[in-house]
Homo-oligomer: A and B are copies of this chain.
Amino acid sequence: MALSFTGSKIDRADHVRADPERLAGYMNWKARLLRLDGLMPALDDSGRLAWGTLADAPEEAELVFLGLDLTDGGEKACFAAVPPRGDATPRMANPQLWSLMATLAPDDLAVYGGARSIVDWHARHRFCAECGGDTKLAKGGWQRDCTSCGASHFPRTDPVAITLVEHDGKLMLGRGKGWPEGRFSALAGFVEPGESIEEGVAREVFEESGVRIRDVSYVASQPWPFPSQLMIGCHAYADDEEVTMDETEMAEILWFTREDIEAAFAGAPSAPFHKPVEQAIATHLMRWWLAR
């Protein structure tokens, strides 16, 4: 079972980033520029990501080195330009993006997701959090340096724990506030400074549902580029099913049987809920659970 947003065929070629001469050598007429309209990707006639040349980037644009595409036996350097504005909105209310995610080839989705996260980070970090001075792109886009105090800043990835909680053969799933009627997923939350994954899982599940869990185990991980999460998929057991819901965050929390979940995955009209989108790690976790 493949995880969405993984499997990019671009080699990040970390050694190039810190070598200004080598990096400059790659910024030639052969280099490829990922074509973006703001944070949205452009597609070519076959529905793949569209690539241009560095000449297609606005003159003043900062360029991020995504890595080297080695797939054709060649060594094509891949770049993306930092757009004027980023987007910190954690959830996508953008139907265009949902339909794009459903149709883009898996390796293209991985390239797009990674590029989106990093150019968005640049667009929202033009100033130094330490002194308020201007920052400029460094190390091929994997760093920003303050032009005033000299502080270095690094792209951000926020770990999120998302957990299937099981009891007596049933799974606890929740519907967040503002989600469409019937759409349920696994409970999730950011792992905070000072927590292990397992502690973060237990805290988040208890905060949202009042349910105490035990025996947390790791299942799988994938990136989620809205804006830049590392989704850490886990499984845990609860000792009982009594829910005390956090009504500031959640609209509903319910326990579903295996039959309920099978019906949701079959898209049956009788299914008591809609499964998460295909690209969400929650979908992967539920498939993993059904296949166990």
Interfacial residues, chain A to chain B (CB-CB below 8 A): 3, 5-6, 8, 12, 14-15, 18, 88, 110, 113-115, 117-118, 121, 124-134, 142, 151-159, 190-199, 203, 207, 218, 220-223, 225, 228, 230, 232, 246, 248
Contact = CB atoms under 8 A, between A and B. Distances in A.
A22 B277 CA distance: 38
Contacts of A110: 194
Contact of A225 (B6, B151, B155, B193): B193
In the assembly, how many copies of this chain are there?
2
B129 A124 contact: yes
Instruction: Find the residue from A14, A113, A129 having the highest chain B CB count within 10 A.
Output: A129
B126 A192 contact: no
17 contacts: A12-B203, A14-B207, A15-B246, A88-B152, A114-B192, A114-B193, A115-B194, A124-B130, A128-B132, A132-B132, A154-B158, A154-B190, A155-B193, A159-B159, A193-B228, A194-B225, A197-B221
A157 B191 contact: yes
A117 B194 contact: yes
Contact of A159 (B133, B134, B230): B230
A174 B61 CA distance: 39
A156 B142 CA distance: 17
A261 B3 CA distance: 35
A56 B196 CA distance: 31
Nearest to A232: B197
A218 B223 CA distance: 16
Contacts of A191: 157, 230
